[in-house]
Amino acid sequence: MSKAIGVYPGSFDPITNGHLEVLKRSLTVFDEVVLLLAVNPDKKSHFSVEERLEMMKESVKDLPGVKVDFTSGLTVEYCKKVGGRHIIRGLRAVSDFEYEFQLAASNEFIDPEVDMVFFMARQKDTFISSSTVVSLFSQGVDIGGLVPPVVIEHLKRKGL
């Protein structure tokens, strides 16, 4: 019997507890989940690819069944490469749905064999985004409950 592999892509700039909540819940559905840093060279990031991968790996080190990887290509193509048939996404609000709906349609056009699986954010996580945590941190707000400790270390090092 083959393993069910899910691919959870994102920019993870930085990874948040909201991302980790979706990841943990996806592990109840999939045998293996690839936490995929999807690199968009046109997008300005707070952290380098190496820094984001380091934070991601540290954040999931105790989660069996999780692999961390990165791609600068299409997630659908990455799925084919690793034998994944499901792309995992989190939804926080209606505005997320509009974007994700278009993304799902695009992915289906590219490869109808790859499905998108959505997890609704827990109510406590609906306001958490990478940009929000960076902004709150830069204003001196304690974001300890929103991100793994490794992220706070990196934010301090960056002076953000």
Catalytic-labelled residue, pool 52, 86, 92, 154: 92
CB 88 within 8 A of CB 50: no
Task: Please enumerate in sequence order all residues whose Cβ is within 8 A of that of 92, keeping only pairs 6 or more positions apart, or say none.
Answer: 18, 121, 125, 126, 127, 128, 129
Residue 86 annotated in active site: no
Catalytic-labelled residue, pool 2, 43, 44, 95: 43
Residue 157 annotated in active site: no
Question: Which residue bears the tokens 């793994």?
Answer: 148
CB 1 within 8 A of CB 63: no
Catalytic-labelled residue, pool 19, 86, 89, 154: 19
Residue 92 annotated in active site: yes
CB 76 within 8 A of CB 111: yes
Residue 19 annotated in active site: yes
Say if residue 140 is exposed, middle or buried (CB neighbours under 10 Å; 0-12, 13-18, 19+): exposed
Catalytic-labelled residue, pool 26, 86, 130, 154: 130
Instruction: List the catalytic residues.
Output: 19, 43, 92, 130
